[in-house]
Amino acid sequence: MSVTVENFTKSKSFNFPQNVVMGHGVLDQTVDVCRSMLFGKNGLIITGGSTYKVAGRKVEDLVSERYNVQTHLAGAADLEAVSEAKKAAKECKAKFILAIGGGSKIDISKPVAKDLGIPFVSIPTSISHDGICSDRASFKSNEGTPMTIRALPPAALIADTKVLVKAPYRYLAAGCADVISNLTALKDWDLARKIRDEEFSTSAYMLARFAAETLVQDSDVIKPKLEDSVWTALKPIIASGVSMCIAGTSRPTSGSEHMFSHALDLLHPGKALHGEQCGIGCIMMMSLHGGNWKQIRDALKNIGAPTTAAELGLGEEEVVDALVAANKVRKERFTILGENGLTRNAALNLARTTGVLRWSR
Ligand SMILES: [Zn+2]
C-alpha cells in the first residue's frame, strides 16, 4: 500500500452577508432582522439629511421600540466623515450600525463597523453601484483623490423596492451599468490569468458574469418608476457584490473600464456617476477586447444609461485624457490596456468608432 504525501497549504476565508431581505415594504422587517442577528441593545443609525426623511426616520421609529438607537447624520464619503461616525458609534457604545442611504452612507459605515468590530446592516435608499452588498468602500482621500478600501460586507441587507423606486431613476440605471461593466472586467481578469498567471476564481467569475448577462438580457424591461424594474435589477446587483466577497478582490467587477472611470474622477471629477462612467468605459474596452461592444451599448441604451460622452457632459479632450491615463491609475492591475496604455490618436479612434465621441467636432 503506497502512502501519498501531500504538501497542501492552500486556505481561504469568505465573508458574506448573512441575511438578505428584499422586496416590497421589507423595511418593516428591520427589527426582525436585527433580532435574528442577535444584535446588542445599543445601535447607531448612520444616514444623511434627505435619506433620513426617506427611510431613516421610519427605521428609527421601528427599532427604537426594542433598541437604544442614536442617529448620526453624515455627509459625503471622506475620511473625516468616517472618523466622525466612528466617534458617534463609540459615544453611544454601539453594538451594531444601520447604514441608511445611497452609496456614501454605506461606504462610511463599512470601515466604522470593521474598525469597531461590530456588524452593520446595509439599507439602501438608492442603488447607483454594486457596493450595497460588497466588502469594498470608496472614499475621497485627504488629498481629494478617490480611494477604495477593503472592509467587511454588511451582516445584512434590507433592500425595500417601495423605497428604492422613489429614488431618481438615474441612480438605478447607473447601478445596472456598473454591473454590466463586469463583462470587460472579466475579460481583463481572464487575460491576466492567461498572461500573468494571476490568481483566479471560477465561481466569482461565473457569478459576476451571470449578474452582468442577466441585466443585458433584461435590459428592455428595466424602466423608470416601476417597482418591478427595481426588483429585476436588485438580484444581479447583489450577486455582483457577492462575487467580490468570493474573489477576495474587486477583480470580477473592476477592470480597464473602471480604470477609465477612476481616471475621469481624478482628472475631471464630478461630471457623472461612477456606474455611468463605467458603462461607457465598458463599451470602449469591449471594442479593444474585440468583443460585442454594440450589445453593451444597446443594453445601456435600453436601460436609459448614457452611451455617449455628450450625455455625461464630457468633451473630446476629457475622454481622451482619461483613456490615455487609465492604465496608470492602477498599475498593478493588468488589463487590455497593458503597461503602456493608449496613445492619444488610438484613444480618439476608439472613442469615435464606438460612438462615445462624434466624428466631427
Ligand atoms: Zn463599480
pLDDT in tens, 105-117: 999 999 999 999 9
Ligand 1 center–CA 98 separation, angstroms: 23
Ligand 1 center–CA 127 separation, angstroms: 11
Distance CA(211)–CA(179), nearest Å, equals: 7
Ligand 1 center–CA 177 separation, angstroms: 9
Ligand 1 center–CA 180 separation, angstroms: 10
Helix residue ranges per DSSP H, the chain: 30-36, 49-51, 57-64, 79-91, 103-116, 161-164, 169-180, 182-196, 202-217, 227-247, 256-267, 274-288, 293-303, 309-312, 316-329, 344-353
Ligand 1 center–CA 36 separation, angstroms: 31
Q: Tell me the chain's radius of gyration from C-alpha atoms.
A: 21
Please report the pLDDT score of residue 235 as a whole number: 95
Ligand 1 center–CA 239 separation, angstroms: 13
Collect the ranges in the chain with pLDDT lower than 70. Answer: 1-3, 360-361
Ligand 1 center–CA 161 separation, angstroms: 21
Ligand 1 center–CA 64 separation, angstroms: 34
Give Cβ neighbours of residue 333 (< 8 Å, ≥ 6 apart): 188, 192, 251, 254, 255, 259
Ligand 1 center–CA 60 separation, angstroms: 30
Ligand 1 center–CA 340 separation, angstroms: 23
Please report the pLDDT score of residue 330 as a whole number: 85
Ligand 1 center–CA 260 separation, angstroms: 11
Ligand 1 center–CA 31 separation, angstroms: 30
Identify the helix (H) or strand (E) that includes residue 272: none
The DSSP result for 46-105, as a single string, is: EE-HHHIIIIIHHHHHHHHTTSEEEEEE--SSBHHHHHHHHHHHHHTT-SEEEEEESHHH
Q: What is the pTM of this model?
A: 0.94
Ligand 1 center–CA 128 separation, angstroms: 9
Ligand 1 center–CA 68 separation, angstroms: 35
Neighbours of 43 (CB within 10 A): 27
Ligand 1 center–CA 188 separation, angstroms: 15
Ligand 1 center–CA 273 separation, angstroms: 10
Residue with cell 488610438: 346
Ligand 1 center–CA 275 separation, angstroms: 6
Grid coordinates standing for 164?
428604492
Ligand 1 center–CA 267 separation, angstroms: 18
Ligand 1 center–CA 240 separation, angstroms: 10
The pLDDT tens digits for 233-249 are 999 999 999 999 999 99
Ligand 1 center–CA 6 separation, angstroms: 40
Ligand 1 center–CA 12 separation, angstroms: 24
Ligand 1 center–CA 221 separation, angstroms: 22
248: which DSSP letter? T
